[in-house]
Every structure is written in structure tokens, then in C-alpha cells.
Structure 1
Amino acid sequence: MDAVKVWTPYCGAAPAPAELLARWNLDPVLLAALVAATLAGGFALRPYPARRRAFLAAMALLAVLFISPFCALTSALFSARVVHHVLLTACAAPLLAAAIGTDRHRLPGGLAAWTALHGLIFWLWHAPPAYAWALSSDAAYWLMQASLLASAAGLWTALRTAPALAGVGALLATMVQMGVLGALITFSGRALYAPHLLGPQDWGYSPLEDQQLAGLIMWAPGAAIYLAAALVLLGLWLRDESARPQPG
């Protein structure tokens, strides 16, 4: 039954390649929300140029993810959806965390809690039943996007005030959980995601090939972002330790 169901997620039905460039998402509610948030945040952060730039970059990335034809592409290809989620959680979220700054109170729960919460939410929404629900209901779709972004922003914000080595551990833990999930998706022997049983065929992929590509994206470049961040944080910690005056 799932193989013949026509899925119509928030971004619209799966497009064929020839129609992709015309598939801009001009939802007036979304446009109004993004414009209002951009204007309000840009105004509030005027005294903080670096934070303001980070916020505006995050809003620009969100516009690409949810307004441009890339939004429609995620209806066709699960691999595009994974890229979407990686950009949302590993690029937009740290930009928002940078915009928040370090002069605010620490988030409740601590770094370990945010790391666990984000990992749990990330796995939950990539479980086939939850994912199918998100692509069959606009409310569920936005719950998926909001929970992924909020939990990731919480993780990246907690990282900014945590001890360096704890931050390295959290980033490596996130890298591992994303890599394991990507590996499980890659090596599954069957197509798991009903909303993408038909769309990939217009793009020259079988559903299983599209799923394998999605798993590889999550496993390698997706997880690599967290590894790179961990190495940068570790390098900064080693630099600070070497510059610290030695006793005696």
C-alpha cells in the first residue's frame, strides 16, 4: 500500500528534475515568520556585530532550506532530506548559538543532557514510522524541524560555556551517534522510508540507492563536521594550555 501512496509533505509532492527550479516555497506564513524574525533579531543584535552576522547567516541558511527549490527536492530524495537535516543541525544551529553569545545564563540541564537529548531526537525522527508521520502532516513536519533545530542549538549553546574537554567529548559522542545511524541506514537491505519509494526513480535512483546515499552522507560528511569541531576545540585547548604559565 505504501508503494502506491502519493505523499504530499509540507514542501509539496516530489518534483521531477525538469520542474525543480520552479518549485519555490512561497508559503506566506513561513515568509512572514522568517522576515519578522530576521528584522527583529537583526535590530536587537545591532550592538553586537559578530553575533548579528551569525544570526543573519543562520536566517539566510534557513531561507535556503525552507524557501528555495531545495525544500521540494527533499520531498523526492531521502538523501536530500539528510543533507537538509545536517545543514539544519550542524550549520544553522551553531550559527544561532553564536548569535546568542556567551553573556547569557547557562542553559538548564548541562552539556551532557543536551547532547543526549539531541541524539535522541535525531534518532527518533529518522525512525521510519516517525519520519513517515512527519511527511504526512504539516504539524508533524514542523515539529520535526523545530525539535531538531532547537535541540541542536541547545547543544551548540551549551558547548560555548562548557569546559573544553567536555565539549570535545560531547562533539565526539554526537559524531559517533550520527555515524552509527548513518551506517545502519546505509547497510539496511531494504528501503525503509515509504515517502521515498517513488520519488527517487525520477532522479535515476532506486529507493534503496537513495537511502544508501543518505546513510553515507550522514555517516561521513555529516559526522565529520562534529569531528572537525572537536579537533578545533581540542587545538584551542592545547594552545591555551601551552600558553599557561608553568608553576615554578
Structure 2
Amino acid sequence: MPVTRLPLRRAIAITLAAIVLPAPAHAHGLFDAHLLDRAPLLLTAVVVAAAWLLYVLGARKVPPRRSEALCFHGAMLLVVFSVFGPIDDWAETSTSWHMTQHMLFIIVIAPLWALARPLPQWRGITGRFAQPLWTGIMRAGRYPTLLALLHGAIIWIWHTPKLYVLALDNLWWHAFEHACFLFTGWLFWWSVLRANPKQTPQALMAVLLTLMHTGLLGALLTFGSVSFYGEGRSVEDQQLAGLIMWVPGGLIYLIGGGWIAWRWLTRMWRRQQTGAAQEELG
């Protein structure tokens, strides 16, 4: 374990340092000429760093599985890349890059967080201080369909033209938009990927519902003949954005639904095997 932790800590330290290093070439840099205007980004950096640090400290008390730790650290690296990297600047002028950023939040980072199961580590370090929050998250996970509706509403609301442009023009709304995608996406994937056998039909319905409405939104953007988000954005770029949501997004939801169904069938098969073995013994 000590051999594998050192590179991991070094990678985390380098990544966190990259968040706060001067980046004058980036429109969203933390330490450019208008630092006060970048307060939302600074706050975002603090939240990301705190969540990551709490997980690392909590992992000492509640050691996670190696696969879960890899999922969490990989997701956090992608958060840093998506929010503070060049993709955020490209998203200001390109609808397709903006969609790429959103899809990273929704279908990559959020399910990785769900697979990582970070709550035991966070609870291990926060104790009773944040217990109501963790309890609320655990209870919310019992309702996959409801969380799918909430997550779907967030996706559609933030892709309406007025709010889309508002998030581009105002960094506070931009940060809030990102938080909405990440938090509701995490809750959605948590509820469907961690569903117990009784909740599996609801989880499959939630994934199917999300696949259908995101595909519809992607199709609207793909076949739109005018730019929905202003004259400065080309229709071709918007159509590419729609394809990014429609095709890769649909593939991820299909994979997620297939994985849920496979777990369900595997459990049923094991129960049948166990029942058959007990009958033979009886």
C-alpha cells in the first residue's frame, strides 16, 4: 500500500496545485486581472479541494476498495479538467464543447462517483457533524424514478436558451449550473447503480426515461435549423452538440441499463441455484 499511495498523493497534490496556479491565458482563470470577479471559481476550487481532502483523510479510517478509490480519484481529476481546464474556455464560444463539458458531468463523473461510494469515507471523517446530509442522500437513493425526474428537469431547464446564455454571462450562475448537473447526476446514478433487487424495476425505468428524454433533447439540437443560443453560435456547432448528447449519452445509458439488468438476472440465477441445491439436499 505505501508504494501505491505515494504516486497517488503526488498526483493529487499536482492537480490541486494546478487549480490555483496563475492562468492569465484562460478567461476563467483564478488569478487573472479581475480576481474579485472570479470569486465563484475560487469558491468552486475550495469545495472541490475540501471534498477531495476529506475523502483522502476519511480513507485512512474507512479504507475503500482499490476500484472504488480509483473511480473517485479519476472522477475528481475529471472535475478539475472540466471546470478549470481549457474546455471551460472553449465552451464559452462553442456549443459542442459546452455540451461535451455537460456530458462529462452527467455521464462520466457522476456515475464514477456513484461507483466510488465515497459516503463511508466522508462520514468517517465528519462524524455526526454532517450526518443529516449523509442520511438524506441515503434516503433519496430509494427513489430512482423521482431522482430521474429531478435530474431530467435540471437538464432541460439549463438547456433553455435564456438560462443557457445566463450561465455563460454570469460566473455565479455558471458555477450553480455545474453544481446542479453534478449533484443531481450523482444522486441519479447512485440510485440506479446501487439499487437493491426490489428497486431494480424502478432503476431500469429511470434509466429508460433518462435515455428517452436526453435523446429527444439531442435530436432537437441536431435537427434544429436555427441557432437556439444566439447568432454568434453556428447551427452546425449546435447540431454537433446534439449528436454528442444523443449518441455517446445514449450509449452510456444503455450500458448502465444493461449492467443493472445483468446484476438483477445474476442474483435471480444464484437464488435459483441455491434453491435447487437445497431441494436436492432435502
Q: TM-score, normalised by structure 1?
A: 0.80
Distance 1:235 1:223, change over 3 A: same
Tell me the CA shift for residue 41 of structure 1.
Answer: 1.6
Within the candidate set 63, 67, 71, 2:80 is matched to 63
Distance 1:100 1:242, change over 3 A: closer
Q: Corresponding residue for 1:133?
A: 166
1:185–1:211 CA contact under 8 A, matched in 2 = yes
Partners of 2:119 and 2:158 lie apart in 1 by 30
Q: Corresponding residue for 2:243?
A: 216
Amino acid at match of 1:182: G
Q: Corresponding residue for 1:158?
A: 191
Q: Corresponding residue for 1:13?
A: none
1:244 aligns with 2:271: yes
Q: Deviations over 1:101-127 (max 9, x none)?
A: 687753337111101000011000001
Q: Deviations over 1:38-61 (max 9, x none)?
A: 222221133113433322111101
Q: Secondary structure at the match of 2:169?
A: coil
1:44 aligns with 2:58: yes
Tell me the CA shift for residue 24 of structure 1.
Answer: 8.0
After the TM superposition, which residues 223-234 of structure 1 pair with which residues of structure 2 at under 5 Å, given as runs? 223-234=250-261
How many residue pairs were aligned?
Answer: 218
After the TM superposition, which residues 37-116 of structure 1 pair with which residues of structure 2 at under 5 Å, given as runs? 37-46=51-60, 47-50=63-66, 51-100=68-117, 105=135, 106-108=138-140, 110-116=143-149
Q: Secondary structure at the match of 1:161?
A: coil
Amino acid at match of 2:271: R
Amino acid at match of 1:38: W
Q: Corresponding residue for 1:23?
A: 26
Q: Corresponding residue for 2:49?
A: 35
Within the candidate set 152, 156, 159, 1:123 is matched to 156
Partners of 1:24 and 1:64 lie apart in 2 by 15
Amino acid at match of 1:221: P
Partners of 2:172 and 2:215 lie apart in 1 by 28
RMSD: 2.2
Tell me the CA shift for residue 131 of structure 1.
Answer: 0.5
State the percentage of identical aligned residues.
29
Partners of 1:102 and 1:233 lie apart in 2 by 21
In structure 1, runs of 5+ residues without a counterpart are: 1-21, 201-206
Q: TM-score, normalised by structure 2?
A: 0.71
Q: Corresponding residue for 2:17?
A: none
Q: Corresponding residue for 1:179?
A: 215
Q: Secondary structure at the match of 1:190?
A: coil
Partners of 1:45 and 1:172 lie apart in 2 by 34
| Structure possessing the higher relative contact order (Cα contacts under 8 Å, 6 or more residues apart) | 1
Q: If you compute each CA radius of gyration, which structure gives the higher value, 1 or 2?
A: 2
Partners of 1:26 and 1:56 lie apart in 2 by 23
Distance 1:26 1:38, change over 3 A: farther
Q: Deviations over 1:168-217 (max 9, x none)?
A: 221111111100010111111201112xx43x6xxxxxx00000011111
In structure 2, runs of 5+ residues without a counterpart are: 1-24, 32-41, 121-133
1:175–1:223 CA contact under 8 A, matched in 2 = yes
1:132–1:193 CA contact under 8 A, matched in 2 = yes
Partners of 1:156 and 1:182 lie apart in 2 by 20
